[in-house]
Chain A
């Protein structure tokens, strides 16, 4: 399975943008890039996904490098409620054996 690498932790101030990086140098052409986050005392929740093009939704934006070997989750204005562990995950769109592997993720701290 293709692996992802994320920083263990990052810190931001409230109302400032946050850029969470993810490296996935062994990504295959059919791997989607998914981001999930886990708020304290909750299960992970889906944030966004992309394949090649940059993506925006109400929660965040996903910027994907042209060679797809890295991506960045962008929170445009961090709030205290965005403090969570953020997971970058690769998911192959084909194949019958499905496993979504969560690594350690990035712990985001948001300062007031």
Chain B
């Protein structure tokens, strides 16, 4: 089983609809992230959370919200989806550890299309 699981893998929705993308992890990491990937633009950080009570905006948080329901679960919501939110969304986790080196572990992504 994957360590970082995203659901759904694919979603097509209409403009104005509310959408929730879910992420769960079995790695026991405190830190979780949501990224968005558009063709030719690399990955951009939407939101991140360092623990259950911590939520931080990334570089492109407008139009999105998140919920950290538990250490293992981090959901991304689009309250009113718009076509330019069509993209590939990735959830990731990390553990700072003691060495100062922090690796990210990514899920397989959710392809969202907003019509």
B79-95 interface bits toward A, Cβ cutoff 8 Å, 1 = contact, 0 = none: 00000000000101000
- Tell me which of B31, B56, B90, B101 contacts A43 (CB under 8 A): B90
> B residues within 8 A CB of A98?
31, 48, 50, 96, 102
> Which range contains the number of B residues in contact with the other chain?
20 to 34
Contact B42 A87 (CB under 8 A): yes
Is A54's beta carbon under 8 Å from chain B? no
Q: Select from chain B the residue with minimum beta-carbon distance to A99.
A: B45
B36-60 interface bits toward A, Cβ cutoff 8 Å, 1 = contact, 0 = none: 0000111111001010000010110
A41-56 interface bits toward B, Cβ cutoff 8 Å, 1 = contact, 0 = none: 1111110010000000
> A residues within 8 A CB of B104?
36, 44, 46, 100
Beyond A49-B101, A91-B102, is A44–B43 a contact (Cβ under 8 Å)? Answer: yes
> A residues within 8 A CB of B42?
87, 102-105
Interface of A is mostly: loop
List which A11-43 residues lie within 8 A (CB) of chain B: 32, 34, 36, 41-43
CA of A93 to CA of B48 in the docked complex: distance in angstroms? Answer: 18
> B residues within 8 A CB of A94?
100
What are 29 pairs between A and B in contact, CB < 8 Å?
A: A36-B104, A41-B108, A42-B106, A42-B108, A42-B109, A43-B4, A43-B90, A43-B106, A43-B107, A43-B108, A45-B106, A46-B103, A49-B101, A87-B42, A91-B102, A93-B100, A94-B100, A97-B56, A98-B48, A98-B50, A98-B96, A99-B58, A100-B102, A100-B104, A102-B35, A102-B42, A102-B43, A104-B40, A104-B41
